[in-house]
Each structure stands twice: as structure tokens, then as C-alpha cells.
Amino acid sequence: MLKGLIAALAFGLAAPAFAGSDLGKDVGDGAKDAVDNAKDTLHTDSGMTKAKRQLDRAGRHAKRKGRHTKNKIKNNL
């Protein structure tokens, strides 16, 4: 768990360097996912907090998939 939190912190500190790019967005999303996974591993919350976090994570995954699809299409043109 500690390794996950350290990785999330490292990604969070590196994220501003890539702020405008898709890579930066992916790094930021990865950091948020690492934090969410750490919270899920701890099992310290439940109910609406956990549900909201899981919905936010699903939204980030959908946005990431959309960005990657957009880039694939753009590269094929």
C-alpha cells in the first residue's frame, strides 16, 4: 500500500509537466487510480463514498479509452 501511495505522489508531482497532453492526462488519471486502489485496499469506507469513487474511476477509464481511440483514428488519417 505504501508503494502505491508513493507512486501516486510521484505521478502527481510529475503531472504538471505534461499538463496539456494526453500523456499528462493519462499520468494524472493513473495517479488518481492508484489512490483509489489504495483506498479500496484499506476497506475504510463504504456506501456512497465508495460508490462515488468507483463511478469516478469508471469515468476516467472511459475518457482514457476515448482519448486513445481518438489518437488511433488521427494517426490512421
Cα 37 to Cα 21: distance, rounded to the nearest angstrom: 24
Give pLDDT tens digits for 5-41. Answer: 677 767 676 655 555 678 888 888 888 988 888 888 8
Which residue range(s) make up the domain with 38?
Answer: 2-76
Residue 1, amino acid: M
C-alpha cell at 9: 505522489
Within the chain, where are the H helices? 2-14, 22-42, 48-76
pLDDT digits (tens, 9 = 90+) for 36-70: 888 888 888 888 988 999 999 999 999 999 999 98
**Cβ atoms 29, 60 nearer than 8 A:** yes
How many distinct structural domains can be found in the chain?
A: 1
